[in-house]
């Protein structure tokens, strides 16, 4: 075993609310400092009370994501799933080849980059409508006005459910993420049952009335109800929490750094790089887990079959060995930027092209309208240790 922690550093970082800013006991303060200390110890560190290894270096996070015959997903992807077994996989992310290959092949074509680029005019129309509701030069919660509704509207459209249902989808998607809301476990179960019932009915309705949406695709695929629910819930949640928080965090970073906003205004060709930097900077998925299939070695540590490894994308994305001395700085011109915000390898995010398109559309539409983007109030972060979330961010924009 490599070095053990004698303070509950990893446990606190991964279980007590990574971005809450109020980490307990000996672990107060800035979560990024904790991750830097973690990286200084080495690529892997053992979390004794959680019973898993924490992988903090870019290289090892990438390695463990690459070969599912060595590190699998079927034993859970979140640390609280350790020891749980499921009658059927709750998401595609909980599967390995060959099942995973078959499942992914079903939905991946609907998210191919060319199809996502073709969405641009519709995405622009959504963003324009939302920006129209934002008053000039006044404090507004950018989450409420823009970054929360926008990805939800898009996902409703892609799945093929009425866009006016987006507020319902918001609640459903929130309660699917542990720590994202104050609902009790019992309340979450009730709401989740309602969500699954709605989604199954929505897919079933497509059997009679098919369109060119993802639910019609699922309806025609001959899947069981469990499998349909698995896809529908995942596509609903994966496609908006992540995009919302990346945009919120990236816009806060830009608002706090007027020089970079100006630089982007002066050179629009930087928008794609800025979008990548927002993804790296926010690392909205903090970690996912894998389990060693057989005895193996990772980053110089010998692991036994059944050992769990938490792959901390948020740490890998600030790894100085890859991003150099400016790893801790927000730089919209960063290139190359091999961030792992979308994971890596077998389960690489299906929605990456959509997310990139959404972020770029928001940036371009805002740059078209506003010369000023500045902070104008509090930024409230969620307590989830899985999704780096922002509940509220007061910013002001001016023409």
Inter-residue contact 283 to 388 (CB < 8 Å): yes
Q: Does 342 bind ligand HEM (CB under 6 A)?
A: yes
- 95 vs 181, which CB is nearer to ligand HEM? 95
Interatomic CA distance for residues 70 and 292, integer angstroms: 6
Helix (H) or strand (E) holding 392: strand 390-398
Candidates 328, 235, 245; CA nearest to 285 is 245
> 142 vs 396, which CB is nearer to ligand HEM?
142
Q: Would you say 191 or 243 has its CB closer to ligand HEM?
A: 243
Are 361 and 124 in contact by the 8 Å Cβ rule? The answer is yes
Residue 354 touching ligand HEM (CB under 6 A): yes
Quick one: tokens of 62?
Answer: 């990438």
User: What backbone phi and psi angles, to 5 degrees, belong to 394?
Assistant: -85, 115
Query: Least distance (Å) from ligand HEM to the CB of residue 313?
Result: 6
Query: At its nearest, how many Å lie between ligand HEM and the CB of residue 4?
Result: 27
Q: Does 288 help bind ligand HEM (rule: CB under 6 A)? A: yes
Q: Give yes or no for residue 391 binding ligand HEM (CB under 6 A).
A: no
Question: What is the distance between the terminal CA atoms of the chain, rounded to a whole angstrom?
Answer: 58
Tell which positions 186-215 bind ligand HEM, by CB under 6 A.
none
Binding map of ligand HEM across residues 245-264, x = CB under 6 A, - = no contact: -x------------------
Instruction: Tell me if 350 contacts ligand HEM by CB under 6 A.
Output: yes
| The binder of ligand HEM chosen from 331, 343, 357, 389 (CB under 6 A) | 343
CA angle 121, 122, 127 (to 5 degrees): 95
Q: H helices within 16-164, ranges in order?
A: 31-41, 58-66, 99-107, 113-118, 120-132, 142, 149-159
Q: How far is the CB of 153 from ligand HEM (least distance, A)?
A: 13
CB of 385 to ligand HEM, least distance (A): 15
Site residues for ligand HEM, window 92-121 (CB under 6 A)?
92-93, 104
> Which of 123, 254, 341, 390 is the binder for ligand HEM (CB under 6 A)?
341
What is the total count of residues that contact ligand HEM (CB under 6 A)?
28
Instruction: Determine the Cα–Cα distance for residues 313 and 285; give it in Å rounded to an integer.
Output: 7
**Judged by CB under 6 A, does residue 332 bind ligand HEM?**
no
Distances (CA, A) of 358 to 172, 230, 247: 21, 24, 9
Identify whether the C-beta of residue 270 lies closer than 8 Å to the C-beta of residue 367: no
239 binds ligand HEM (CB under 6 A): yes
Q: Does 349 bind ligand HEM (CB under 6 A)?
A: yes
User: By CB under 6 A, is residue 316 in contact with ligand HEM?
Assistant: no
* Nearer to ligand HEM (CB atom), residue 27 or residue 217: 217
Residue 295's Cβ-count burial label (10 Å; 0-12, 13-18, 19+) is exposed
Q: Is 143 in the site for ligand HEM (CB under 6 A)?
A: no
CA–CA separation, 20 vs 29, rounded Å?
9
List of residues contacting ligand HEM (CB under 6 A):
65, 73, 77, 92-93, 104, 155, 234-235, 238-239, 242-243, 246, 279, 284-285, 288, 313, 341-343, 347, 349-351, 354-355
């Amino acid at each position: 075993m490599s070095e053990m922690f004698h303070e509950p550093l990893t446990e606190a970082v991964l279980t007590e609310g990574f971005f809450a800013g109020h980490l307990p006991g000996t672990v107060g303060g800035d979560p990024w400092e904790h991750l830097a200390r973690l990286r200084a110890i080495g690529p892997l560190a053992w979390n004794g009370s959680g019973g898993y290894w924490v992988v903090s270096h870019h290289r090892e996070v990438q390695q463990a994501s690459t070969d599912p015959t060595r590190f699998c997903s079927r034993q859970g992807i979140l640390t609280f799933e350790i020891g749980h077994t499921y009658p059927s996989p709750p998401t595609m992310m909980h599967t390995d080849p060959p099942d995973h290959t078959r499942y992914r092949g079903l939905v991946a074509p609907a998210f191919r980059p060319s199809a996502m680029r073709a969405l641009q005019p519709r995405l622009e129309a959504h963003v324009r409508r939302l920006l129209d509701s934002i008053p000039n030069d006044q404090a507004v919660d950018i989450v409420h006005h823009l970054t929360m509704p926008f990805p939800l509207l898009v996902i409703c459209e892609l799945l093929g459910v009425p866009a006016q249902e987006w507020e319902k989808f918001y609640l459903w998607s929130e309660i699917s993420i542990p720590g994202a809301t104050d609902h009790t476990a019992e309340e979450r179960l009730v709401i989740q049952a309602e969500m699954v019932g709605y989604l199954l009915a929505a897919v079933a309705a497509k059997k009679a009335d098919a369109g060119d949406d993802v639910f019609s695709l699922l309806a025609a695929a001959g899947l069981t109800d469990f499998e349909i629910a698995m896809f529908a819930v995942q596509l609903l949640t994966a496609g908006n929490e992540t995009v919302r928080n990346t945009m919120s965090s990236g816009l806060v970073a830009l608002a706090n750094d007027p020089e970079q906003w100006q630089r982007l205004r002066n050179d629009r060709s930087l928008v794609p790089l800025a979008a990548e930097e927002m993804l790296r900077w926010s690392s909205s998925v903090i970690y996912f887990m894998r389990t060693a299939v057989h005895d193996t070695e990772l980053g110089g540590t010998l692991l036994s079959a059944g050992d769990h490894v938490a792959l901390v994308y948020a740490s890998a994305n600030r790894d100085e060995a890859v991003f150099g001395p400016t790893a801790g700085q927000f730089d919209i011109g960063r290139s190359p930027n091999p961030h792992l915000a979308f994971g890596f390898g077998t389960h690489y995010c299906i929605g990456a092209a959509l997310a990139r398109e959404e972020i770029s559309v928001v940036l371009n539409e805002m740059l078209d309208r506003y010369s000023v983007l500045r902070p104008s109030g509090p930024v409230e972060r969620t307590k989830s240790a899985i999704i780096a979330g922002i509940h509220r961010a007061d910013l002001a924009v001016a023409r």
